[in-house]
Structure 1
Amino acid sequence: MTLNERTFAISDGPGAVVPDPRILLYPRLRKSPYFWASRQHGVAMYSVYNHTYHPRHYGDPVAEYWALVHGVTLWDVGVERQIEITGPDAFEFTNMLVPRDLTKCEVGQCKYVFLTGADGGILNDPVLLRLGENHFWLSLADSDILLWARGVAHHSGMDVTIEEADVGPVQVQGPLSGQVMAAIFGPEVYNIGYYRLREYQLDGMEVIVSRTGYTAELGFEIYLKNASRDGVRLWDTVWAAGEPFGMKVIGPCHMRRIEAGILAHGCDITYQTNPFEVGMGYDWMVDLNQEADFIGKAALSRIKEQGVRRRLAGVEIGGPPLGTFNDGSMIEAFPVWRGRERVGEVTSACFSPRLEHNIGYAMVPVGLSDIGTELEVETPTGVVPAVVVPKPFVDPTKHIPKQPFTPGRGHLPSEN
């Protein structure tokens, strides 16, 4: 069927749905600094993230999962826009944006943080990089934080400058990532601690390397300055170093992040959810005892005292395999039922290749979030049984990403 025939068929009435519609490539949407480089590897599907085209997979998300778990992978994550906060009051201002106590964040350290609104809702969940006493980057998830932060700054009376830096990250992830990074930066890259960063000069390119990633596997992110100029050159440099190790270019591996308990903003967390509902109201993530009066502190204090009515639970889901989440198999959240009553929704779900069953997160009433609670989930193939289980589903202590690198060899799959 030609494209014109498809268009005519769609206008011909119900039953003419195109199951895999294209995404339009045109100037209005932004391109990552690595857009033209990553296209050379055969992008099969894009989504739009921070108003920017984002490669989601390259044809086989399951093969990409195994490449990540057993080898080394390269990701175009230039969609993670960097909000740069500088100026004499940058520390005080940034500390006001997040519930974590940034007096406990050293220069050269990274933190996973929430940005919360006045009602305690989660506006974004970036990785924060502290580059200097009054110099921060917020590596954003998908929401318009630049405009929000500028609005907050305008009314704060603080002396800060907030810009979107010309910085683009790529991720190098998997058990062989250390060897690839050592081939590029030298063996001292092994000494970068978990959620720490280091600056490098690489053939005239300025980069910051951090021990972070969206995988819960061993891995790094490379943040390139002057990315609009040097993006393709950095990509080619990393690819050349990775090819001898069997590097694969992949999209964000949602099967692995769901296994690991990593949340996706817009799905599992939104401005309508708060840290206590998603099980991240810990004192280290939401420090209500700190001196700083961060945005949302009063609301989160009240929520903690009163308790929450719902909670994001881990669930095992029966029925046929649900797909990879990254393949368009989960267009909407799945309704959760208890008897004849709809009680919540599954926000992310997939078939886990290593666990060999369906897993996901379900936002349900607190009384139905206890381990062992039986539920029903309405999937595309019908209503199937489900049960609440502990999350994360794999490696709950994060031993894998925290372990030290061993120069000269990779970590065997059995060690995962």
Structure 2
Amino acid sequence: MHESLKNLRFSVKPIMNEGARPVELARTMRVHPLSYQELPYDPEYSLYAGRLTPEKMNLATADEMYWKARREIIFRHTGEHPFEIIGEDAVVFLNKIFPRDVSKVQIGRCSYQFACYHDGGMITDGLLLRLSENRFWFAQADGDLFSWYKAHSHDLNVKIVDPEVWVSQIQGPLSLELLSKLLEGPIPDPWNYFDWAEMMMAGEKVIISRTGFTNELGWEIYIRPENDIEKLGDLILESGNSLGMILTATPGFRARRIEAGLLSAGADFDHTTTPFEVGLGHYINFKKDDFIGREALLKADKQSRSWGIRVENGIALRGRHLEKDGIIQGRVTSSSWSPYQECGIGIVLLDDAEGIPGSRFQVCCNDGKLHMAEICSLPMYDENREIVRGRKIDIPQAPNPWKIS
């Protein structure tokens, strides 16, 4: 990479459309209908699954957004892109696309899923909602899955359509308190982690799931074309303000999802990695009928090469190598600063599966210098994921600094 590019980042800025000529990029860079809420904060956007998602806003620092998610509540308009799969062969089709058994997903439940190429390399992942017996939504992460659907749906009674649904996340310890204020009636009981339900809010029927990308207590709202989107969005924002809620951009939860070991499509895995290599092999069901990538995955190395790292006084640069005694041992796939642990954190992919917690490597950091990085397990804490399930409600009032020994 040219030196002039190493310290640059590229983003999309909203500007006024001059004149009456059409905007040619509108088809490939679609904006969330509630993005007008972000405009007062000088937002910058990145492209995600064909949609724009905020990378930066000036209403708070990344650290302040992080603590809002951990201690209070945040509101984020995502680039997640739901597609609808409907028809008599919907389950057969989805079991062909995904290595995990879709037939086991009950109506009213969500399921984490990912798709692979024939060689076992990964395409993308996302959240599958079973709406009825033969109707599903798959809210996908970054990547192109629609063409893959179309290419493999021949001879099956199934339709793949874009329902024009947009997803926003409300995350943090106060998220269910806000939801209770917003609903016309009580929160469903039970309503467990990875459940979804149709609820009434401001006279509108909306689909809400107990999910998110922070590993904090939270929910996601799926806004359909028939909904009064602005009414719902403004109600959520205004009601949340009384609880200290703020809008957030990607860096506000990047550190939290890294701490939790939540992988980002295109960063922590891609077409060159199998699910086993990035620690997702336990989701694969070899007992079900054939799925794309099955034969390759049967032969694949079953050990994970994905780990967490901590760096004292530095943030490892994404894409940089991990080195030991001058020998490259792996690379950084995601990184951030953890305000809670007060150290740099990241996800790395080692060149072999022999890495163990406590192993140390050198890595280039944001100050341009080499720092010592220590391998750790993922998640970095809350190993049983009790926070996101509402079982652990201790809100961190102070950091818990990590120091290299």
TM-score range, shorter chain: 0.7 to 0.9
8 Å contact from structure 1 (residues 182, 189) kept in 2: no
Q: Which digits, 9 at most, give the CA deviation of each residue in 1:111-167, with x for residues without a partner?
A: 11111111111111111111111111111100111121111113xx10100011111
Question: Does the alignment pair 1:400 with 2:383?
Answer: no
8 Å contact from structure 2 (residues 49, 143) kept in 1: yes
Question: CA–CA distance in 1 between the matches of 2:3 and 2:240?
Answer: 48
Q: Which residue of 2 aligns with 1:287?
A: 285
Which segments of 5 or more consecutive residues in structure 2 lack a partner in the other structure?
16-22, 400-405
Moved over 6 A (4+): 13-18
Q: How does 1:67-78 map to 2 (within 5 A)?
A: 67-77=68-78
Q: How does 1:17-32 map to 2 (within 5 A)?
A: 23-25=12-14, 27=23, 28=25, 29-32=29-32
8 Å contact from structure 1 (residues 36, 232) kept in 2: no
Q: Which residue of 2 aligns with 1:321?
A: 314
Q: Which residue of 2 aligns with 1:297?
A: 294
Question: Does the alignment pair 1:335 with 2:334?
Answer: no
Report the Cα offset of residue 14 of structure 1. 8.5
1:175 maps to a residue whose letter is P
Question: CA–CA distance in 1 between the matches of 2:233 and 2:56?
Answer: 17
Q: Which of 230, 235, 244 matches 2:233?
A: 235
Report the Cα offset of residue 44 of structure 1. 3.4
Q: Which residue of 2 aligns with 1:65?
A: 66
- 3-state SS, counterpart of residue 349 of structure 2: strand
Q: How does 1:77-156 map to 2 (within 5 A)?
A: 77=78, 79-154=79-154
Q: Which residue of 2 aligns with 1:184?
A: 182
8 Å contact from structure 2 (residues 111, 129) kept in 1: yes
What RMSD, in angstroms, separates the aligned Cα atoms of the two structures?
Answer: 2.5
Question: CA–CA distance in 2 between the matches of 1:43 and 1:176?
Answer: 27
2:360 maps to a residue whose letter is E
Q: Which residue of 1 aligns with 2:266?
A: 266
Q: Which residue of 1 aligns with 2:402?
A: none
- 3-state SS, counterpart of residue 331 of structure 2: strand
Report the Cα offset of residue 193 of structure 1. 0.9
Bigger drift between 294-303 and 332-341 goes to 332-341
Question: CA–CA distance in 1 between the matches of 2:128 and 2:231?
Answer: 26
8 Å contact from structure 1 (residues 313, 391) kept in 2: yes
Q: Name the CA shift for 1:61/1:393 in 2 (closer, same or farther; >3 Å).
A: same
8 Å contact from structure 2 (residues 338, 345) kept in 1: yes
Q: Which of 372, 379, 385 matches 1:385?
A: 372
Question: Does the alignment pair 1:211 with 2:204?
Answer: no
Q: Which digits, 9 at most, give the CA deviation of each residue in 1:90-125, with x for residues without a partner?
A: 111112111111222111100111111111111111
Question: Does the alignment pair 1:225 with 2:212?
Answer: no
Q: Name the CA shift for 1:21/1:114 in 2 (closer, same or farther; >3 Å).
A: closer
Q: Which residue of 1 aligns with 2:334?
A: 348
- 3-state SS, counterpart of residue 64 of structure 1: helix
Q: Which of 240, 244, 247 matches 1:246?
A: 244
Question: CA–CA distance in 2 between the matches of 1:20 and 1:275?
Answer: 29
Report the Cα offset of residue 19 of structure 1. 5.1
Give the count of matched residue pairs. Answer: 381
8 Å contact from structure 1 (residues 38, 76) kept in 2: no
2:149 maps to a residue whose letter is A
Report the Cα offset of residue 317 of structure 1. 2.2
Which segments of 5 or more consecutive residues in structure 1 lack a partner in the other structure?
1-12, 324-329
Q: Which residue of 1 aligns with 2:396?
A: 413
- 3-state SS, counterpart of residue 75 of structure 2: strand
- 3-state SS, counterpart of residue 245 of structure 1: coil
TM-score (norm 2): 0.87
Question: CA–CA distance in 2 between the matches of 1:256 and 1:16?
Answer: 28
Bigger fraction of residues in helix: 1
8 Å contact from structure 2 (residues 73, 172) kept in 1: yes
Question: CA–CA distance in 2 between the matches of 1:21 and 1:269?
Answer: 22
Question: CA–CA distance in 1 between the matches of 2:277 and 2:5?
Answer: 40
8 Å contact from structure 1 (residues 176, 411) kept in 2: no
Report the Cα offset of residue 37 of structure 1. 2.8
Q: Which residue of 1 aligns with 2:43?
A: 44
Report the Cα offset of residue 201 of structure 1. 3.4
Question: CA–CA distance in 2 between the matches of 1:16 and 1:271?
Answer: 25
Question: CA–CA distance in 2 between the matches of 1:411 and 1:365?
Answer: 37
TM-score (norm 1): 0.85
Q: Name the CA shift for 1:16/1:106 in 2 (closer, same or farther; >3 Å).
A: closer
1:394 maps to a residue whose letter is Y
8 Å contact from structure 2 (residues 314, 371) kept in 1: no
